Amino acid sequence: MNKESQDLLTKLKELPHADPVQIASFIIIVLFIGCVVLMACLACCYSCCNGCYTKRRLAKVYPLTDK
C-alpha cells in the first residue's frame, strides 16, 4: 500500500512536466471519479430525503352517474 501511494505521489509531482496525453488521461480519470462520487451522493440524498415520495395533489376520479 505504501509503495502504491509513493508511486502515485511521484506521478503527481511529475504531472506538470508530463506530455499532453498523460495530462488529458489524468483529467479524464479525475472527472470520472468525481462523477461517480457525485452520483453516489445524489442517490443517497434522493433516497434519504424521500425523493420518490411526491406531495402533489392527485385529482379524484368519480364514476359517471346517469341522470
Residue 50 pLDDT level (bands cut at 50, 70, 90): low
The whole-angstrom separation of Cα 23 and Cα 7 is 16
**Sequence-ordered list of residues with C-beta below 8 angstroms from that of 22, at least 6 positions apart, any chain:** 15
Q: Hunting for cell 359517471 — which residue is that?
A: 64
pTM (predicted TM-score): 0.58
The C-alpha cell at 18 is: 508530463
Give the pLDDT band of residue 15 (cuts 50, 70, 90).
confident
